[in-house]
């Protein structure tokens, strides 16, 4: 099923969140969350183009222990407020089909791994043959995904994703452009490897699995814009798996969105494998105060402008000293990273439902920004200049000083009309759609004649 997106046809905007780590309600989390909602509410101050959000992506670790009550709390504390403030909250009894979620290593039940899975699945799979054996068989794959039961139940019930724990696909349409989101589970082999101290060490042992990618990429090959979302960066994967996955995703997808590292460094890939842009989200909430500034709470907004073929990542980070989310100057100057769209991003014919002015060099995106800026200017004028305080009127007019005067009530709009002589023939005016142009020409001729007459009179007076 393809869901249409509204708004400007020449551009697409999404919000990318990750790593909320929901345990329970706590005050510090609430402070950061409230500031996040305020930042999203005021997103047009960051850039007017961000007004229309098409979808929201959450790239893993919504919960902390993969328990259903954690997801319900996250829904109330984070997801619903975010969707509401960006205008994507579903109607009652409807799915949140503009929200796309993938699982992370905190979204599986480690208790289930230890107590419910067979011994072969309690250790890392170390060959392509074993990966293919467990992922290509429906019953075996269902066993692998058992630790994600609570995650799967919540996400499918809330967003409507058919298989949120394995090769999940969401199709959208914006204007005449087809968009496909592919969600991959990079956490299904997590929590198996442990170090000498008995602590989990997943680095270098995680698997996506070529079977998860192969059919899914074929299914979305017809999309004009392909975005893959997974939780872990490629360097967390097992070498045997990375060799199959990384190059293929970079070649066949335009954008790769992920979380986990809590480090929002954007990378543009241009290599023999292809062109793609990797956009991590940072952590929506790790803690209120962090000891390492590289892992500050962060998220981003992304806008793609197909007219100019430019993309912008608006990097936002939490500032506890200011008690608000601010531009992430540490990651990039002004907190805005601009990049050229991948060349393999399918060109589209102009959408005739949207006006564009290519001859002047003004794109629909620029037009939208100008309109938004003009509206903001008008609002500021009303806020700052509309009221005249009448407190200093003379004593005899004190009764008037009990109220404020609004300039908009005194404004008299200018109205102009043109009187047409009764002897003018209808043919002189032409068709109705050309009448104003003809009248303007008639006025100009009259003005020139009047000017010529005045010059003649002046000349005659000077001669006399």
Q: How confident is the model at residue 4 (pLDDT cuts 50, 70, 90)?
A: confident
Spatial separation of the C-alpha atoms in residues 356 and 306, rounded to whole Å: 12
Number of neighbours of residue 66 by Cβ within 10 angstroms: 26
- For helices 128-136 and 239-252, give the axis angle rounded to 10 degrees: 60
DSSP 141-165: HHHHTGGGHHHHHHHHHHH--S-TT
SS (H, E, C) 15-79: EEECCCCECCCCHHHHHHHHHHHHHHHCHHHHCHHHHCCCEEEECCCCECCCCHHHHHHHHHHHH
pLDDT at residue 47, rounded to an integer: 95
DSSP 330-363: TTSGGGEEEEEPPTTSPP-PPPTTS--BGGGTB-
> How far from 134 is each of 127, 129, 138, 142, 212, CA to CA, in Å?
11, 9, 8, 9, 11
What sections of 356-418 are H helices per DSSP? Answer: 364-385, 407-410
pLDDT at residue 449, rounded to an integer: 65
Q: What is the mean pLDDT of residues 228-250?
A: 93
Q: What is the mean pLDDT of residues 165-189?
A: 96
pLDDT at residue 198, rounded to an integer: 77
> How far from 373 is each of 50, 308, 378, CA to CA, in Å?
12, 20, 9
Number of neighbours of residue 372 by Cβ within 10 angstroms: 16
* pLDDT 10s digits, 7-32: 544 699 999 999 999 997 789 999 99
More confident site: 206 or 376: 206
More confident site: 291 or 464: 291
Average pLDDT, the chain: 83
pLDDT at residue 192, rounded to an integer: 86
pLDDT at 327 over 70: yes
Spatial separation of the C-alpha atoms in residues 348 and 352, rounded to whole Å: 12
What is the token pair recorded at 194?
């442990």
* pLDDT 10s digits, 201-223: 888 889 999 999 999 999 999 99
With a pLDDT cut of 90, the percent of the chain lying above it is 58
* pLDDT 10s digits, 353-367: 443 334 445 555 566
CA triplet 247, 250, 251: central angle to 5 degrees? 85
Q: What are phi and psi of 49, to 5 degrees?
A: -65, -15
pLDDT at residue 352, rounded to an integer: 45
pLDDT at residue 424, rounded to an integer: 52
* Residue 277, CB-side half-sphere exposure with 13 Å CA sphere: 25
CA triplet 293, 297, 302: central angle to 5 degrees? 115
Spatial separation of the C-alpha atoms in residues 332 and 29, rounded to whole Å: 26
> How far from 112 is each of 124, 132, 151, CA to CA, in Å?
16, 22, 13
Number of neighbours of residue 213 by Cβ within 10 angstroms: 22
Spatial separation of the C-alpha atoms in residues 135 and 144, rounded to whole Å: 8
Cβ neighbours of residue 136 closer than 8 Å, sequence gap 6 or more: 211
Number of neighbours of residue 292 by Cβ within 10 angstroms: 9
Closest C-alpha among 19, 25, 28 to residue 323: 28
Burial of 45 (0-12, 13-18, 19+ CB in 10 A): exposed
Spatial separation of the C-alpha atoms in residues 163 and 219, rounded to whole Å: 14
CA triplet 22, 24, 25: central angle to 5 degrees? 110
What is the token pair recorded at 183?
């969600």
Q: How confident is the model at residue 124 (pLDDT cuts 50, 70, 90)?
A: confident
Residues in the chain: 464
* Residue 295, CB-side half-sphere exposure with 13 Å CA sphere: 12
More confident site: 58 or 175: 58
Spatial separation of the C-alpha atoms in residues 312 and 337, rounded to whole Å: 6
Poorest-pLDDT segment among 251-255, 264-268, 289-293: 289-293
- Could you give the domains of the chain? 2-354 (3.60.21.10), 364-410 (no CATH)
Spatial separation of the C-alpha atoms in residues 144 and 381, rounded to whole Å: 61
pLDDT at residue 358, rounded to an integer: 43
CB 225 within 8 A of CB 345: yes
């Amino acid at each position: 099923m393809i869901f249409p997106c509204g708004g400007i046809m020449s551009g697409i905007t999404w919000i990318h969140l990750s790593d909320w780590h929901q345990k329970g309600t706590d005050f510090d989390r609430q402070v950061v969350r409230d500031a996040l909602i305020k930042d999203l509410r005021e997103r047009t101050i960051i850039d007017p183009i961000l007004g229309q959000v098409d979808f929201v992506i959450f790239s893993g670790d919504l919960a902390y222990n993969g328990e259903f009550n954690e997801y319900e709390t996250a829904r109330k504390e984070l997801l619903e407020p975010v969707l509401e403030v960006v205008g994507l909250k579903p109607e009652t009894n409807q799915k949140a089909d503009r929200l796309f979620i993938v699982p992370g290593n905190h979204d599986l039940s480690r208790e289930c791994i230890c107590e419910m899975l067979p011994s072969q699945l309690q250790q890392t799979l170390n060959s392509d043959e074993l990966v293919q054996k467990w992922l290509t068989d429906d019953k075996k794959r269902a066993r692998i995904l058992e630790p994600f039961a609570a995650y799967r139940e919540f996400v499918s019930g809330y967003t409507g994703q058919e298989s949120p724990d394995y090769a999940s696909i969401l199709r959208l349409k914006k204007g005449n452009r087809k968009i496909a989101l592919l969600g991959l589970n990079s956490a299904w082999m997590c929590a198996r490897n442990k170090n000498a101290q008995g602590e989990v060490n997943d680095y270098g042992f995680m698997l996506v699995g070529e079977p998860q990618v192969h059919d899914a990429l074929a299914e979305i090959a017809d999309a004009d814009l392909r975005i893959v979302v997974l939780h872990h960066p490629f360097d967390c994967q097992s070498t045997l798996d990375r060799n199959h996955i990384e190059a293929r995703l970079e070649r066949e997808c335009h954008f790769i969105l992920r979380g986990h590292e809590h480090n929002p460094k954007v990378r543009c890939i241009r290599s023999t494998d292809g062109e793609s842009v990797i956009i991590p989200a940072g952590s929506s909430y790790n803690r209120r105060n962090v000891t390492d500034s590289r892992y500050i709470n962060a998220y981003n907004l992304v806008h793609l402008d197909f007219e100019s073929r430019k993309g912008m990542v608006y990097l936002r980070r939490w500032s506890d000293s200011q008690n608000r989310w601010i531009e992430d100057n540490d990651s990039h100057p002004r907190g805005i990273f601009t990049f050229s769209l991948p060349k393999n991003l399918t060109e589209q014919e102009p959408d005739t439902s949207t006006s564009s002015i290519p001859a002047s060099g003004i794109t629909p995106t620029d037009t939208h920004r100008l309109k938004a800026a003009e509206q903001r200017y008008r609002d500021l004028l009303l806020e700052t200049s509309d009221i005249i305080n009448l407190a200093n009127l003379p004593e005899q007019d004190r009764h008037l000083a009990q109220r404020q005067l609004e300039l908009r009530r005194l404004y008299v709009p200018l109205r102009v009309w043109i009187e047409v002589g009764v002897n003018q023939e209808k043919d002189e005016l032409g068709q109705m759609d050309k009448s104003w142009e003809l009248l303007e020409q008639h006025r100009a001729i009259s003005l020139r004649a009047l000017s010529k007459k005045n010059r003649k009179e002046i000349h005659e007076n000077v001669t006399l």
